[in-house]
Amino acid sequence: MAASVPSEPALGALLSERGKLLLLLSLGACMFLSALDGSIVATALPRILSDLDGFQLISWVITLYLLTSTVAVPIVGKLSDMFGRRPFVIAGVVVFLAGSLACGFAPSMPALIAARGLQGIGGGVILACVLVVMADMYTPIERARYVGYILAVITAGTLIGPPVGGFLTDGLGWRWCFFINLPIGAAALVFIWRTLPNVRHGGRIGDIDFAGAGLLTTATVAALLAIAWTGDAFGWGSAATVGLLAGAGALMLLFILRERRHPEAIIPMSLFRNRMYVLTGLIALLSSAVLFSAVQYLPTFIQTSLGASATVSGLLFMPQALGMVAASIVGGRLIARSGRFKRQVVLGSAFSALAAFLLQTLGVGDPRWHVAVYLIVFGIGSGLVTPVINVIVQASVSQEQTGVATSSQMYFRQIAQVLGVALFGAVFTASYGATFTGNLDAETRAALPAAVAEALEGDATLALDPERMEGARAAFLTEGGAPVLFERALDVQREAVAVANRRLFLLSAIGGVVLVALSLALTEIPLRGRAPPPRETEAEASALAADAPPPRP
């Protein structure tokens, strides 16, 4: 199916340039909140677990947020196509702030987990709506310029989160890591309330595919639980994991069969006949599952094999973020001038593949600045590709399908990230264990007590915990082992981590080559020019939007 050229965005015709700027700033504040919340919570989590006595429930603090936010994305995308973006953006911010307030006052770990689930719903709604509102407000060729600024805001939230989280946790207390969301979110809410008119495309409550939404929700929950629990409690071959994955597959099949017949499908199957939608989806999936996932395990290599502290490890990742922001802003401006995107996507994919290849050459004792340089290359590649993909997919569908097309790709991308992290984690641990066992010489193996050998083989990060490390060393020396043999075992451990890291990035580099091939298959499609001039005043425009009868589907 050939890609269609969408009509002009309705919202862009209703807002003045000042109104667009205020709304863009408000949307940026929402995305900033989402990014800030994730990085602040990660920093405060150890203190939270200590205060609420909840170490055994640690995975649920992250898992439940991921579940609720992922499930919300495709459903809200479809509903906002029918009933307008404004009520969902406002509701998303309100729910997110309510969840933040509940997190801050949580008296126990179960209460905190429940509040994080509420936060996830709000975060998912915000994620589903922000980029779609931008699609309503700007033409694709304009959007290519502004999406880089949104990415810069998200990056800023991610970068300042850890130091702000540490400052608040050590000062006012970890609860303020959630309370800080309230003033920022409230200010964004006021601006959104005042500047975002509601443009409905038509629909009734009876048109909503509740059964399809239920099937998709249940399938997503089952799949994410199977993936999340694999690393915590069960193995890939366990009855629980196999049962959950099989159930998720069966439910997803039922969902597809239903969506093929329903006139208001949550994810219309007709989208998959759109070649550009499928290609951009595959590029986004592969980037998330292969390139993004491998980078998540790089800090383990940096801190273990290169001997860097957690602070230095974090600083080494800053060039990646800066490269991503710079490339997205420059790339967006170039597309806005030329109206052409294929060359940029191919170039960005090639940069990503090159970065993965360079990262798989790292070994024990390599200069740390090599990591920073290679991550700059990776950031440039991501910055050239990631923002543009959203612009392409929105330009390849009709204006009426912008919300569902954008949100469905976000949904698949999030699933791919979770699956990729889990699979790469399995590869990492298996490669590490096999290499450690294979490289440990007979003399050292014979001298190591069984408990110490099991600790070294089963945990690549043992050296990062001084207390556990000294315990293992003391147990080894108590059994009569020589200090030199223990240091030899640690050298084997560092090399095993490096080998596991190389294997991950070799797989990532192969995925990068496939990414280049997919990028070459893209076809240039027209990006719409500038929107028509705004009406006389924002008030008149909003009144027109409210009074106009909604078109029937």
Q: What is the pLDDT of residues 386-400, one digit of tens each?
A: 878 878 887 888 777
Q: Mean per-residue pLDDT for 413-438?
A: 80
Helix (H) or strand (E) holding 131: helix 109-137
- Which has more pLDDT, 11 or 253? 253
Task: Check residue 12 and give its pLDDT.
Answer: 60
Residue 10's pLDDT band (cuts 50, 70, 90): low
Report the percentage of the chain scoring pLDDT > 90. 9
Report the percentage of the chain scoring pLDDT > 70. 81
Task: Check residue 415 and give its pLDDT.
Answer: 79
Average pLDDT, the chain: 78
pTM: 0.74
CA distance 438 to 436: 6
DSSP one-letter code for 288: I
**In the chain, which residues fall in CATH 1.20.1250.20?**
1-199
Which pair of structure tokens corresponds to residue 13? 């015709």
pLDDT tens sequence across 67-124: 788 777 777 877 777 777 788 888 999 999 999 999 999 888 889 889 988 998 888 8
How many angstroms separate the Cα of 518 from the Cα of each of 55, 269, 377?
43, 21, 20
pLDDT tens sequence across 114-150: 998 899 888 888 877 877 787 777 776 777 777 767 7
Which pair of structure tokens corresponds to residue 383? 């910055």
- Which has more pLDDT, 15 or 254? 254
Task: Check residue 516 and give its pLDDT.
Answer: 93
pLDDT tens sequence across 449-470: 676 777 677 667 666 666 677 7
The 3-class secondary structure across 298-313, one letter per residue, is: HHHHHHHCCCCCHHHH
User: Integer distance in angstroms from the first to the last C-alpha of the chain?
Assistant: 21
pLDDT tens sequence across 161-178: 777 777 787 788 888 888
Q: Which of 242-246, 259-263, 443-447 has the lowest mean pLDDT?
A: 443-447
For the chain, the residue count is 553
Return the CATH class of domain 1-199.
Answer: mainly alpha
